[in-house]
Amino acid sequence: MTIAFIDLAAQQRRIKPEIDAAIARVLAHGAYVMGPEVRAFEEQLAAFAGSKHALGCANGTEALVLPLMAWEVGPGDAVFCPSFTFAATGEVIPWLGASPVFVDILEDTYNLDPAKLEAAIQATKAQGALTPRAIIAVDLFGQPADYPAISAIAKKHGLKLIADSAQGFGCTLGGQHPGAWADVVTTSFFPAKPLGCYGDGGAVLTDDDWLAERMDSLRVHGKATASDIQGRTFDHDPKYLNMRVGLNSRLDTIQAAILIEKLKIFADEIEKRGVVAERYAAGLAGSGAKTPAVIQGGVSVWAQYTIEHPDRDGLAAHLKTQGVPSAAYYPMPMHTQACYSIYPQPGGLPVSEAKADLVLALPMHAYLDEETQDRIIAAVRSFNG
């Protein structure tokens, strides 16, 4: 039997009638762009995450650039982010002419190291070529970054804080979502994400009224907002009064309709993922593979279940012979790739470079049955004798 790395079909079987009905409703009313389901989903998403505002957008990458554009980050500015992450985190910064400053990660959680972040900010200030403006912390593999520590650093230096929760939406720390600390939370609804749609999609969440209004304008070609129009006479549709240079980054109505149904079962799926993670930890104890650690007080949504092994590539090859899929995230951290190597990396990133050769993700989803999981665990253990 073929083992799925992420079993989207199992989830679809659970809610197929609801998904089919949701899509049919959109086809019936025909408002395919910014239709009523988009606003309904935004309200439900904000309520789930405890945020005042949620705005859908085209994908998780543009979710990251929207707040940077709103804050007018640009040439001469520094944005601090990890290198051990997907390219989207760092690539949006040069879009605006700003510079990513790559920061190393913690040994155990793979998330941004607060001490290294503080050192990188101090080094950047001392060097003087760039002006520190913002921090992007990533909820890698599904668990929250150390937001209390990172937020304290951001406030100390007067920097904005973005929680890149593309992999971690739904994670909590001390019972609170990342928005309790970050100025804005961004997420992706790419199909493989814990809360994924059936195409591309993303969202930004914030408690900041001004930021929400500005990002709403930017996602629709810089359209005029209520604040922009106040005191002006403009008799036409405000979308034709363009107050700033924006982009086209709207969440499709069909995707919002699908996400409404998925959000209804999301809390249950997070619990199920946690059970799968616990079984992995117990089953792999003493196997020679290092199982993941979660920050104290944190709840991961387990976007991936990532182990470490000194012979990562050998283990991956062995698992393949056993019919077990795996994935190596991220074999080349961003700062080691030619197009990003030109950007600052004060103090180096030895942990990121070391982990790139060690980590391997095993199949993980809410519908991984015990028999299949036992087969995966047995395959890992058999590699070690």
Residues forming the active site: 193
- Write the single-letter amino acid at 341: S
Torsion of CA 159, 160, 161, 164, to 10 degrees: -130
Is residue 6 within 8 Å of 365, Cβ to Cβ?
yes
**Distance between CA atoms of residues 295 and 281, nearest Å:** 15
**Distance between CA atoms of residues 383 and 374, nearest Å:** 14
Strand partners, 80: 101, 135
Kindly tell me the burial class for residue 372, based on how many C-beta atoms sit within 10 Å of its own C-beta (0-12, 13-18, 19 or more).
Answer: middle
Question: For the range 160-163, what are the long-range contacts, defined as Cβ-Cβ under 8 Å and sequence gap of 24 or more?
Answer: 160/67, 160/71, 160/133, 160/134, 160/135, 160/184, 161/134, 161/135, 161/137, 162/64, 162/67, 162/68, 162/134, 162/135, 162/136, 162/137, 162/186, 163/137, 163/139
Is residue 166 within 8 Å of 326, Cβ to Cβ?
no
SS3 182: coil
Cβ neighbours of 95 (radius 10 Å): 14
Q: Which stretches does DSSP call E strand in 4-155?
A: 53-57, 77-82, 99-103, 131-138
Q: Are strands 202-206 and 184-188 parallel, antiparallel or unpaired?
A: antiparallel
Q: Residue 330, preceding bond cis, omega within 30 degrees?
A: yes
- Residue 71 backbone phi and psi in degrees, to 5: -85, 0
DSSP letters, 91-135, are: HHHHHTT-EEEEE-B-TTT-SB-HHHHHHHHHHHHHH-SSEEEEE
Is residue 88 within 8 Å of 64, Cβ to Cβ?
yes
Is residue 246 within 8 Å of 62, Cβ to Cβ?
no
- The CA R_g of the chain, rounded to the nearest whole Å, is 21
